[in-house]
Amino acid sequence: MLRALITLALACLLQPAFADERAQTQQQLDATRQDITELKKLLGKLQEEKSGVQKDLRGTETEMGNLEKQVQELQKELKKSESELERLDGEKKKLQSARVEQQHLIAIQARAAYQNGRQEYLKMLLNQQNPEKFARTLTYYDYLSKARLEQLQSFNETLRQLANVEQEIAQQQTQLLEQKSSLDTQRDELDKVRKERQQALAKLNNDVKARDAKLQARQQDQADLGKVLKTIEETLARQAREAEEARQKALIAQQEAEKKRQREAEAVATDAPRKPARAAPGPLVSSAGESFGGPFASARGKLPWPVDGRLLARFGQTRGDDTRTKWDGVMISASAGSQVHAVHGGRVVFADWLRGAGLLVILDHGNGYLSLYGHNQTLLKAAGDVVKAGESISTVGNSGGQDTPALYFAIRQQGRPSDPAQWCRAQG
């Protein structure tokens, strides 16, 4: 019966702490779920923006491909024009060389014809004996003169046509070069736009990866918190069952004891002359009913602080950038290794590592009052130890993911957080 009563008492003492831990875990789980929802929405927007940039990039690169094809075709045309110009320039040089040679021959022929012609004319004028020869000579000279004139006209026409063709090809080449320069400018502009969009796309990809990694971390946190919450709920359910079983056993034992007392009383009444009366048994006692340092409720405003230091966070303040959670205790800055003292006498009901609190000590002060000391470096007490007010129970540290050494100190009243500043003496 005594064991059952002790089990029932411990279950009643621990249940508020576990219930409070479950509430905190559920709050963190809800916040994590909300973060995951927001991250998914943001990822969706980033994916839409990424699709738009990819679509623009596809159009830009397609247009650049078409322009590149046009530039290549123009370059082929330029090469053809350059080849044609080279061919015509070669012909021009040949014609110029021929023209110079022909001009030289024509000049010689003209001087010879002029000199011979004058002499022949004088002979024909002075010699009238052969008029037929005179006529043939005139006809011959006229034929030569016309042939030379036609040759010169044809040569000049060839040069004129050659000059026209050369001018036309030069104009065509200039036009092609202007088109090529324009296309190169457009291609440079499109290439600049493509690089900008590629940079934007790369930035979006990095953002998506970062958000995705953060989402995965949040989802993992959600899974971990879910496991912790499930464990706490199972522990509470088991404790409730054990408490009920202990209560039933205690009730049965009490009933059995009552029946035994009734039987003994009846036996005494029946056999009074033969047996002396027996003294009634004394009341049961338990160490769980001991009081350490007086009632905790009467110590409001009189308790010492567990460690000397500066308050980094006060009760009820927002925790960092997350406006959805608030401090349910205080954070006290202190040097690593500093001694942490119990603010009141009590019994250690928890001394172990806990997610979010690191190495944690929980003291039970009776009547539903608990004090919590977290983020310790070492634990000096174990579960079940009885401590006196001012006794060292741990040392300051940064366990549980803290950046700097500090002590998390909280007080629970019937499972509800209470401001430690209302219980501890004001510091000067």
pLDDT tens digit sequence for 223-271 = 765 676 567 657 766 776 887 888 888 888 888 887 887 776 766 655 5
Q: Tell me which of 137-146, 224-233, 320-329, 418-427 is least confident.
A: 224-233
Q: Tell me which of 100-109, 203-212, 238-247, 264-273 is least confident.
A: 264-273
Q: Measured between alpha carbons, how far is 394 from 350 in angstroms, rounded to an integer? A: 12
Q: Tell me which of 247-251, 331-335, 384-388, 418-422 is least confident.
A: 247-251
What's the CA dihedral at 282, 288, 290, 296 to 10 degrees? -140
pLDDT at position 146 over 70: yes
Share of the chain above pLDDT 70, in %: 70
Mean pLDDT of 373-387: 94
pLDDT at position 120 over 60: no
- Of 17-21, 178-182, 358-362, 397-401, give the range with the top mean pLDDT: 358-362
Q: Which domains does the chain have, with CATH numbers?
A: 1-273 (1.10.287.2610), 295-422 (2.70.70.10)
N- to C-terminal Cα separation, the chain: 51
Task: Centre a 10 Å sphere on the Cβ of residue 357 and count the other Cβ atoms it contains.
Answer: 25
340 band by pLDDT with thresholds 50, 70 and 90: very high
- Supply φ then ψ for residue 281, to 5 degrees: -65, 150
378 band by pLDDT with thresholds 50, 70 and 90: very high
Summarised one tens digit per residue, pLDDT across range 10-69 is 555 556 656 666 777 777 777 777 777 877 787 777 777 777 776 776 677 677 677 777
Parallel/antiparallel/unpaired status of strands 318-319 and 310-313:
unpaired
Q: Which two tokens stand for residue 261?
A: 């007392």
Contact 330, 375 (CB under 8 A): no
Q: Tell me which of 45-54, 129-138, 282-291 is least confident.
A: 282-291
Q: Which has the higher per-residue pLDDT, 264 or 121?
A: 264
Summarised one tens digit per residue, pLDDT across range 165-193 is 778 788 877 887 887 788 788 778 777 87
**Assessment of whether the complete model's pTM goes beyond 0.75:** no
Q: Measured between alpha carbons, how far is 169 from 173 in angstroms, rounded to an integer? A: 6
Mean pLDDT of 408-424: 92
pLDDT score at 124:
52
Contact 110, 86 (CB under 8 A): no
pLDDT at position 91 over 90: no
- Supply φ then ψ for residue 323, to 5 degrees: -75, -5
**CA nearest neighbour of 290 among 179, 169, 386, 163:** 386
Say which amino acid occupies 264: E
